[in-house]
Structures are given as structure tokens and as C-alpha cells.
Structure 1
Amino acid sequence: MTTATTTGAKAHAREQELAAAAELPRVLHPASAYVGELSPGVSAGDLVWAETVPPGGYTSLVVAAGTRVRVRDTTGDACAHLLVFHADQPTERLNVADTVKVQWQAFLTAGHLLLSDQGRALATIVEDTAGNRADAPRHDALFGTSTLVRNAERYGSGDVFGPSPAGRELFALAAAKHGLTRRDIPPSVTFFEGVSVSDDGRPAFVGSSGPASITLVAELPLIVLLASTAHPLDPRPEFTAGPLDVVAWPGAPTVPGDPAWDATPEGRRAYENSTAHRRTRGADR
């Protein structure tokens, strides 16, 4: 088939779309068409977003404060690299260093917050079926995502259109959809593949949690970026990545009385800062 003519180019484009749809579904419109497993009490009619991110792919979505975002590794091969930005002022974004040091915890799991450098809670992890813990880490808040150079050295390519796309390259594409540049991309957190650190500071790749999911609550309006690519410390010689199932549904931010609010003094202060920020903008009454 030639693409030298308009007719040929149109036929080729439609053929590509059919091939992609047959291989793996992407965004579902409407999200209520979703037929996968959902959290208790949530139905497909509640969803505002439903998508399958293919291996080596990425996605981005903008969600309102209170939105639940669930990311699921359906095969046990996925590694989800995540960034979040304050949608109303994207200069405020995930700060992994503060997330770790303020909470005295490098092994994030349910009950932990994703913090910005403004002392605010951007999101809360409310469910983690992988059960991350220090003796068997299944997520990683220390080593970030892969780069073009590193993937080229390890797999022969790190280009987004190649067979082993690098996480930072995927994030650059996702960020550009929101007017953000490479300079705006901070270190990310990783879910479903963990790294332990020995007493002398040496990292050891732990591997996959198996099929699992994490659910986040957006404490502020967020830009959410996700990339599905191999962990930078994955020792396997072959590029390995799996699909990510992403769904979102409306909810409410964390408020006083929620067990998470007073779980730690550090978390309480972050929630208070986020609540005050929403109120000054008329989001909370």
C-alpha cells in the first residue's frame, strides 16, 4: 500500500487504527463501556476515565480534586512510572525527595501521600494490593525512570518509536500535551516493581509484585502522567513491560475525620495546606 496519495494515506491510517485496536484497547469513550474488574461499590457508570496503556506507551489525564485514579498491572509484567502536577499551577509538582523524607518512609504504600515542594498533599495512596513493605518492596520511590541513553546502551534503543522506549522520553511527550517541557519533568515514582537498599547503600532489584493495583485520591486538581516501560534497574537483558489498566471515578478529597488525616502529624499538616489552598480558590465551601 502506498501513502503517496491522499486515498492511500487514508487507507493506511485506518488500517493502522484497526491493527492497534485489535492488539490492545486504548481509551474507552464513554468510560461506562469499561468491562473490567472495579473496586467494591464502583460501577462502570461511575467512571470518568478508562484506558489501557500498552507496553512502552504513556497516557496523561487531568482530574478534579477528590478523583480516584486506579492503576492496575493486569499481567505481572508492568512497571508504572508516575508523575503528578497541580493542574492549576503546574510549577507545583511531585517532589519525591520531600515525599520520602517528610514521611520518614521510602517504601510507599496505602496511607502514604505524594507531596509537592510547597508542603501540600497532591495525592494519597488509598489502596495498594501489592502490599509494599521494606522487607519486600514492590514499588520504588528512589531510582526514577529510564533515560534515552541508558536504554540505548542496554537494549539498543530508547526512542519512543523504538522497541524499548525510555520513561523520560515518554514523559516528555505526555508533558507536552499540557504545555510542559523537559525542564518541567522531575523524578518520578514507580509502582509494581521494587528495589531494596542494603545497609551499605547498594540497590537490589526485587522484581514484580505480580498482578496488582494502586489507587490514588487527588487532593488537588491534578495532571497525571503515566509511562509503561521497564524499570531502570531491571537486570533482564530483554526489554520487559506490560499493559496498565487505568480507570478514574469522582470522589472527595481527604477531610478531617478520615483516618488518614490524623495518621501522622506530617500528613495532617500537608492535608491542612491542601485544604486551605482549595478554599482560597473557592473549591471548598
Structure 2
Amino acid sequence: MGKPSVPPSATASTHGAREHARAQEGTTADAMPIVPASDLPEPPEDVAAGDVVWAETVAGGGYTHKVLARGTELRLTDLTGDACAHLLLHSADRPWERLNTADTVKVLWNAYLGEGHLLLSDQGRVLASVTEDTSGRHDALTGTSTLVRNTARYGDGTPQSASPAGRELFKLAALKNGLAPRDLPPSVSFFQGVRVAEDGTTEFTGSAGPGASVTLRAEQDVTVLLANVPHPLDPRADYTTGNLRVLAYRSRPTAPDDALWDATPEGRRAFLNTVDHLTARGLA
């Protein structure tokens, strides 16, 4: 949705600027947050409107962030087939405990994210689990784009440009949560796939198409940082990325009676580590 042109004289004074700003109340755009989230017009059939705590559409080249309570489920949807959701997770009140992609891949003996995968910290604890996945095109190996790479490839990579880099957007999201650039580890990404070839090279496999979704469950209180930017290995010459839908709603953390708890010995140990940590703090 384009912005209506405004004559310079209309906002030349404080009163004019105020009237113009107030006149925008109630207008909507294709990509924006819904506040309060419970006002989401048409929640999915499996989600009660009163349980929705985050509802937002993130434009291509945009970012967002939120602190989610333990047990909250976060559903990401690629609306156009061109979204790429780069994700970082931090323990909400202990930001030095954060997503560790190396352990996420190594401990679980699986480099390919999908349903049943656990996103681990370097403390051997679960930050989030993947409970549903209709895409199958994700990446835990490459990370996000950088200022240098985007400047060389697209001509600019700053946050205000037409081709912002993922790390630059992560810096902004981090700052709004009291975090610094040094607090940003390698990220994982969803909706644009990468596979490792027999010779060890990485192959970009692209998107599963419009409407694919992935659902994560927060296994402790987490700070979520998201940047919706092209995957670094996307071969297209143009900066290409589409809208990403973000929906979070109240649920419950994984429990010992859930199949995911005992899916693997390594996963069970990670869940036990997580609950042990939370129990000692009176949080579980």
C-alpha cells in the first residue's frame, strides 16, 4: 500500500504535522504489527483469538523482535514463497545463554532443521523446539547476510537501504532488547533451503513455495530476533524477499509425556537439562 502524497505546507507547522499524524490512525498496510495481537481479524482455526500474543507481517527487508514466555508457540509463514526468516534466540533474562548453531547441529546429529528438531544453547539446554514444518527448506549452516557482502552484491547493505543485510537488522533488534553486536551469534534461517553436497560444498535449494509454515515452541522465556532478508546463497541477482507472517500464541512447554521429549537420547537429555535449570530457579 503506497503512502499518499502530502503537500509540504500541510506539515510545515507543529499543528499541521500533528493533524497529519493523527489522520493516519486506523490506516493499515500489507506489512505491520497488530496491536493488541488479540485483535487479529481471522486467527487460524486451531488458535483461539484470546491466546494470540504476537501478530505481525514483516515486509521483505524488515525485522522484528519480541520476548515470549515459556510454552508460547511461534508460527512463521512464508506468504509469497520468497521470505527468508533469519532467527536468533536468547534466554530472556540471561542473554549470554543464546542459540548455538554448532550444538544444535552436532548434539542432535542432524544438520537439517525440521519437525522434531531442537534449537539448543551452548549450555546443553533447549531454547525452542520445532513442532510443525510444512516447508522442509531451512538452513542451520550459512548464517545471515552481512554489510560487506550486501554492499558488494547489491550496492548497499545498511538498514535504511533497499537491500539491508540481516546482521545489520539484527543489530537494531538487539539494541532494542539491551543487546550489543557481540551478543549476536550465527543464526538459523527458515524457508530457503541449503543442502551439503558429496564434495562438501553447499547447494541452495530455494523455497517450498507460498504458504509454507514452521512452528516453534519456546521451552524457556526467550527473546526472539527475526530478520526477513534474502538468503546469502540465493543466486538471484536482485534483492528478492517477500512478506513473512509472524503469529505467536499461548500453549505449553514440552512435557515428559510428549513424544518429542523421548524422540532421541540427546534430546531427552537436553530437555532434562532445561527443566533442571528452570526448577532450581523456581520457574518450572
After TM superposition, the score normalised by the length of structure 2 is: 0.92
Work out whether 1:109 is the aligned partner of 2:114: yes
Q: CA deviation at 1:9?
A: 4.5
Partner in structure 1 of residue 54 of structure 2: 49
After TM superposition, the score normalised by the length of structure 1 is: 0.91
Paired amino acid for 2:100: N
| Number of corresponding residues | 275
Deviations 1:95-139 (CA, angstroms, capped at 9, x unpaired)? 000000101101110101000000001100000011x2xxxxx10
Partner in structure 2 of residue 215 of structure 1: 215
Say if 1:14 and 1:145 are closer, same or farther in 2 by CA, change over 3 A. farther
Which among 76, 82, 90 is matched to residue 71 of structure 1?
Answer: 76
Provide the aligned C-alpha RMSD in A.
1.8
CA distance in 1, matches of 2:49, 2:73: 13
Work out whether 1:87 is the aligned partner of 2:87: no
Say if 1:18 and 1:199 are closer, same or farther in 2 by CA, change over 3 A. farther
Deviations 1:3-28 (CA, angstroms, capped at 9, x unpaired)? 6643455466568x679x54424111
Residues 3-12 or 104-113, more deviating: 3-12
Does the CA contact (< 8 Å) of 2:150 and 2:163 recur in 1?
A: yes
SS of aligned partner of 1:210: coil
Q: CA deviation at 1:29?
A: 1.6
Which among 26, 30, 36 is matched to residue 30 of structure 1?
Answer: 36
Does the CA contact (< 8 Å) of 2:31 and 2:243 recur in 1?
A: no
Deviations 1:194-249 (CA, angstroms, capped at 9, x unpaired)? 11211111112111121211111100100001111000111101000111111111
Deviations 1:155-201 (CA, angstroms, capped at 9, x unpaired)? 11111111011000000000001110111000000000011211111
Give matches, 1:1-285, under 5 Å.
1=8, 5-7=13-15, 9-10=17-18, 22-36=28-42, 38=44, 40-130=45-135, 132=136, 138-211=137-210, 212-284=212-284
SS of aligned partner of 1:91: strand
CA distance in 2, matches of 1:43, 1:154: 44
CA distance in 1, matches of 2:236, 2:279: 48
CA distance in 1, matches of 2:39, 2:122: 38
CA distance in 2, matches of 1:208, 1:30: 31
Q: CA deviation at 1:65?
A: 0.6
Paired amino acid for 2:99: L
